[in-house]
Structure 1
Amino acid sequence: MSSNNTSHFDRPESGELVPSRYAVQVGEIDVLIVSDGVLPLPTEMLGHNADPAARSAWLENMFLPPDAFDWSLNVVVVKSGDQTILVDAGLGLDPNLNLPRAGQLIQRLEAAGIDLASVTDVVLTHMHMDHVGGLLVDGVKERLRPDLRIHVAAAEIKFWESPDFSHVFMPPGFPDALRATAKRFAEEYRAHFRPFEEEHEVAPGVVVRRTGGHTPGHSVVRLSSGGERLTFAGDAVFTVGFEQPDWHNGFEHDPEEAARVRLRLLQELAETGEQLVATHLPFPSVGRVAVAGDAFRWVPAYWDY
């Protein structure tokens, strides 16, 4: 990444007490990481197949609470050429789940000076509700372009026609909410879907690639321009996944395959040295992957002011 993070994104004053967006550049591509807020979840979700004592020790070493902690929700806006691409869309509002500190994306896009009508494309890493729900907020669809393109793996669309929750480890209420949100999203936006099979170039230097694992159609987005690269990994990588890539996350529909995907991706990122951003890494989640013995090490980027 360039040491000059000067971006073409507008930066009006928002009056927020904490930062909720962070701009970087990948060659000629502008990137803005936007926080959708935080999602409080049980710590068991980090590695439900792990020995409880090992999980507790990891949490203690990370100075994290033993029972529940806040998972970041990060969304990315990409400007490449004349296209403005929203990668994932945050949680939106689900009153049945009582998650008041999440679902902040629409207000924070406005605070960043991003008009919803300027978004030409949406890329979905997958169709879990914390990645599509922002587009279901009242009044949002009417503000989007009528020719909006939504890029999502064909396998993901098919999966949510009859989703399998037999291998997940979620808090009560989440499977029903995920199922209902994906169904509603498909009904409201199907005409905008642009399904792809394995890989698709959305814009110059912006490629979405299906990985599977977390969900059958889970995908990552690779940015490349001017010799610089960045990967948005969606839910393929979680905080604990660097040191314990074989620990299963509770939202993974195929935990064994998700672990294999995570390992391959971390190995690739360690070899290339490119920047990584992921949905649930602490905001702004920009960093790199280093090898640490038989595992990996997360190296957060220094904030560039």
Structure 2
Amino acid sequence: MNVITKMEGIRKGPDELVPSRYAVRVGDIDVLVISDGVVTPPAESMATNADPAVRGAWLDDMFLSRDAFDWALNAVVVRSGGQTILIDSGIGGEVPDFPRAGQFGHRLAAAGVDLASVTDVVLTHMHFDHVGGLLVDGVKERMLPDLRIHVAAAEAKFWESPDFSRTAMGPVLSDVARRAAKHFLNEYHGQLRPFETEYEVAPGVVVQRTGGHTPGHSVVRMMSGGDRLMFAGDAIFPVSFDHPEWHNGFEHDPEEATRVRLRLMRELAETGAWLVSTHMPFPSVGRVAAVGNLFRWVPAWWDY
């Protein structure tokens, strides 16, 4: 059954000329995908172990620049069982060099989501483009004092003394990541609800640690009335369908991240569950089909 219910566009000003939120219904669970905007990383960051010529050919085939390209930032609001759950929060103002990102706050407001109504936050991991929206001035003060923030215990532990030796982030972004995670832990330590392997946040909404991208990287599965949707965080990227073996420069354990990616893509192909992922092109709603040993992305038909 097609779980897409509607597409909503907003226009806040001259830069809000395209849709920035997309509503999905998974059984009795309401899901709202919200775009935090786009970042523009170096193209090689999506495939650090690829032959440059092969990587360049793939970019050419996708009509993308060989230097840098727009990379979506998607976060999700989930309503289930009387709870309002925020999954990740975008980049906030952590990287001024990405001025087209950090849109999450005003787009939440435009969607009618009051920060004071959020009962739970789930973090897929603690990279700056996932926690940054919670670090924007004034955000914490607008949220409930008994807000629950669910994050894998291994993730919180890792960021106490992070190791970037196997990433390709470089010193500047490594410093940004370290600083943002430390700031987040200092600000929200009293509201953290760490889990070991998995935790049911609300009826039909389960977060599960996968590891790989970061030690505590997690995905969120939503199941209701026979419908399924997975928010995969940074486990699956646009290039993953043609080249799941390519390492992303932000992966702290690239080999394990590849194993996780393949396992999740096989699961999605077998179950037919919808996929939403942080860096898939907005609205990032579609299915995964198996094609031999590789996979094919099947975007949802937008429902106007």
Normalising to structure 1: TM-score of the pair?
0.96
**Residue type of the alignment partner of 1:131:** H
Structure-2 change in CA distance of 1:295 and 1:4 (3 Å): closer
Q: CA deviation at 1:294?
A: 1.7
Runs of 4+ in 1 over 3 A off after TM superposition: 1-4, 10-15
Matched-pair contact (CA < 8 Å) for 2:11–2:17: no
Superposed counterparts of 1:105-124, under 5 Å = 105-124=104-123
Superposed counterparts of 1:64-213, under 5 Å = 64-94=64-94, 97-213=96-212
Measure, in 1, the Cα distance between the counterparts of 2:94 and 2:234. 20
Measure, in 2, the Cα distance between the counterparts of 1:237 and 1:3. 21
Superposed counterparts of 1:1-305, under 5 Å = 1-2=1-2, 5=5, 14=12, 16-94=16-94, 97-305=96-304
1:272-299 Cα shifts (integer Å, max 9, x gaps): 0110000000000000001112211111
Matched-pair identity in %: 69
**Residue type of the alignment partner of 1:234:** G
**Larger deviation: 266-275 or 11-20?**
11-20
Matched-pair contact (CA < 8 Å) for 1:206–1:223: yes
Q: For 2:287, what is the secondary structure of its paired residue? A: strand
Structure-2 change in CA distance of 1:48 and 1:28 (3 Å): same
**Residue type of the alignment partner of 2:226:** G
**Residue type of the alignment partner of 1:151:** H
Matched-pair contact (CA < 8 Å) for 2:4–2:23: no
Normalising to structure 2: TM-score of the pair?
0.96
Q: For 1:90, what is the secondary structure of its paired residue? A: coil
* Alignment RMSD (CA, Å): 1.5
Q: CA deviation at 1:6?
A: 5.5
Structure-2 change in CA distance of 1:29 and 1:195 (3 Å): same
Matched-pair contact (CA < 8 Å) for 1:125–1:218: yes
Matched-pair contact (CA < 8 Å) for 1:121–1:149: yes
Q: CA deviation at 1:172?
A: 4.6
Q: CA deviation at 1:98?
A: 1.7
**Residue type of the alignment partner of 2:244:** P
Structure-2 change in CA distance of 1:224 and 1:241 (3 Å): same
Aligned pair count reads: 302
Matched-pair contact (CA < 8 Å) for 2:31–2:76: yes
Measure, in 2, the Cα distance between the counterparts of 1:210 and 1:271. 20
Q: CA deviation at 1:171?
A: 4.6
Q: Which consecutive unaligned segments of at least 5 residues does structure 2 have?
A: none
1:227-283 Cα shifts (integer Å, max 9, x gaps): 000000000000001111110000000000000000000001000011000000000
Measure, in 1, the Cα distance between the counterparts of 2:276 and 2:247. 20
Measure, in 2, the Cα distance between the counterparts of 1:2 and 1:26. 9
Structure-2 change in CA distance of 1:181 and 1:3 (3 Å): closer
Q: Which consecutive unaligned segments of at least 5 residues does structure 1 have?
A: none
Structure-2 change in CA distance of 1:4 and 1:250 (3 Å): closer
Measure, in 2, the Cα distance between the counterparts of 1:209 and 1:115. 27
